[in-house]
Structure 1
Amino acid sequence: MKILHISDTHGCHRRLHDLPQADIIVHSGDFTMNGSEQEALDFMNWFCDLPYPQKIFICGNHNDCLYGATIDGLDDNVYYLCNSGVEIDGVKFYGVPMFMGDCITDRQTKHYANIPDDTDILITHTPPFDILDFDDNIHYGSEELLNRISVVQPRLHLFGHIHSQHGTTTLNGTTFSNGAIMNADYSDLRKPSLIEFHKR
């Protein structure tokens, strides 16, 4: 199973051309810049039109316009995950967004605690602590998320948020991918990450 991972496109999704073939494309949040509904609708129209068999997206901290929203009318092969999961070809995906209203309360802690133990591929916007999360001499990742990952042990964790840490690494049997497409100063777009995921 080939997974194309993108994140943090910040309204520049239509500048992405010649994307590689994959079985599933995953966007791990921050698809708008200003968080407007118009930007979100433009992204969803673009995303639904992409020629991939399956498509998954979650929200990041720039997507607060969708906080509490129910998204109707998506194509049958497009999945919006909001503290929810989907199983595709026997692989269990689970997505946790990054809404600021949750992050400043204990709700985000509860969302991390509710990640199912049998998750194969975890999608968050936030990185786990000390994994592709370092910028400006600060680790921006979540220790609570890292602790939950150590229990769940997903085989793949897709996230973004920290633009300067685009890339992948593997630790303790989990492959971690920071898919942030936009570079650190918002001046250019990087190539997306294509990940080969082998089903058990």
Structure 2
Amino acid sequence: MKILHLSDTHNCHHRLRDLPDADVVVHSGDFCMVGTEQEAMDFLNWFCDLPYKHKIFICGNHDDCLYDANIDGLPDNVHQLSNSGIEIDGVKFYGVPMFLEDCITERQSRNYAKIPGDTDVLITHSPAYGILDYDDGINYGSEEILKKLSDLHLKAHLFGHLHARHGILEQNGITFSNGAIMNADYTVPNTPNLITLDNA
């Protein structure tokens, strides 16, 4: 299975051209900049029109207009994961959004704790602590996600949030992908990450 991973497009999704072929495209949050419904609708219209068989997205901390939103009318092959999962061709995807309202309470900790043990591909907005999360002398990743990873047998963990650490890292048999498209100063788009998974 080929996965095209995007994150942190921040209203610049229309600047992405000639995206590579893949079986699944995943956006791991922050498609908005200020979090308005108009921004979200513009992204969703673009995302739904992408020529991929399966499309998955979660929300990031800039996408608060979709907090507790039940989006009607999405095509059958477009999946919003919000503390939920979907199985595609035998691969189990699970997504945990990053809403500010959850982060300032204990809800986000409970959301991470509920990630199923049989997840193959975990999609979060935040990286795990110490994994593609370092910027300006600080590791910004989540220690809770890092702790949860030890309970899982993932094939891949897809995230964003830290624009300066875009890239892919293979570690302990897991592919870690920071798919942040906009660079640290929001000026130049990074190349989307393309990941190949063994379905077995």
**What TM-score range do you get, normalising by the shorter chain?**
over 0.9
| TM-fit CA distance, 1:170 | 1.4
Name structure 1 gaps, 5 residues minimum.
none
Distance 1:51 1:166 in 2: 24
Deviation string 1:37-81 (CA, Å, 9 cap, x unpaired) is: 000000000000000000000000000000011111000000000
Maintained 8 Å contact 1:85/1:95: yes
**In the alignment, is residue 51 of structure 1 matched against residue 51 of structure 2?**
yes
Counterparts in 2 of 1:29-68, with a 5 A limit? Answer: 29-68=29-68
| TM-fit CA distance, 1:153 | 2.5
Distance 1:175 1:40 in 2: 29
Match of 1:147 in 2: 147
Distance 2:67 2:141 in 1: 21
SS at match of 1:152: coil
Maintained 8 Å contact 1:156/1:175: yes
| TM-fit CA distance, 1:93 | 0.2
| TM-fit CA distance, 1:130 | 0.3
Match of 1:22 in 2: 22
Counterparts in 2 of 1:27-176, with a 5 A limit? Answer: 27-176=27-176
Report the count of equivalent residues: 200
Residue type at the aligned position of 2:75: D
Maintained 8 Å contact 1:160/1:178: yes
Distance 1:170 1:15 in 2: 28
TM-score normalized by the length of structure 1: 0.99
Maintained 8 Å contact 1:37/1:65: yes
Aligned-CA RMSD value: 0.6
Residue type at the aligned position of 1:100: L
TM-score normalized by the length of structure 2: 0.99
Name structure 2 gaps, 5 residues minimum.
none
Distance 1:76 1:17 in 2: 24
| TM-fit CA distance, 1:188 | 0.8
Residue type at the aligned position of 1:78: V
Maintained 8 Å contact 1:153/1:173: no
Runs of 4+ in 1 over 6 A off after TM superposition: none
